[in-house]
Structure 1
């Protein structure tokens, strides 16, 4: 018996960006976690396609830059160069998404290079549980 339902499509970073528009912070982190989970399950050779398309503006510069850092970070973990669109995105002022004293210290020490370079201070651990 054949299903006529929609085929499963993993979340792309561009689609993630569209979903972040107008969402509150809690929902945004849930969406990031969902994206990361789906990304982890995709075969290595299919992952690059999930990062290639540039997300439209989310309406929040912090999150626009976060998406660029995330794409570069994931590409680097897979041993690939970042998509070209990430190069134009960075913050003029540092951003600590988890802004408690302990989280700030952890992020300064453990922020992946792709995030740190853009002024986004989030620790790898926060990305894993996001």
Structure 2
């Protein structure tokens, strides 16, 4: 392990946003899953640092808003307020990332508040397995 272990850096929202730009949707969901996994392993007191910086635009408004909702959702789960940059991001029309009738119904019922408020309908369960 030695030196390599010390150089490990978990994904931040800024880095995640940069990786999402230009990626296809299946790669984007894999990146979100990787981010969530790394976030879960970080000590609660340092997790905030992963969300503080504002990601540049991914080039896709849906994913820009998704990042804001994700940052707010994770902050709330850790019992603290969202980073200030999330406030400016929301959609004018609803977005269902998993657009089958069953997924839509599930998302309407189970979307976390931070996502629902911004017009992103994804169920909490989909975030757990993303």
Q: Would the TM-score normalized by the shorter structure come out above 0.5?
A: yes
Normalised to the residue count of structure 2, the TM-score between the two structures is 0.97
Structure 1 runs of 4+ with >6 Å offset? none
In the alignment, does 2:44 pair up with 1:44?
yes
Name the TM-score, length of structure 1 as normaliser.
0.97
Q: Secondary structure at the match of 2:87?
A: helix
- CA distance in 1: counterparts of 2:88 and 2:102, whole angstroms: 30
Unpaired runs of 5+ in structure 2? Answer: none
CA distance in 1, matches of 2:5, 2:40: 24
Residues 122 and 7 from structure 1, CA distance in 2 versus in 1: closer, same or farther, beyond 3 angstroms?
same
Alpha-carbon RMSD: 1.4
- The within-5 A match list for 1:18-33 is 18-33=18-33
For residue 3 of structure 1, give the secondary structure of its aligned residue in structure 2.
helix
For 1:14-93, list aligned pairs within 5 A.
14-93=14-93
Aligned residue pair count: 130
How far does residue 4 in structure 1 lie from its aligned partner after superposition? 6.2
Distance 2:80 2:14 in 1: 18
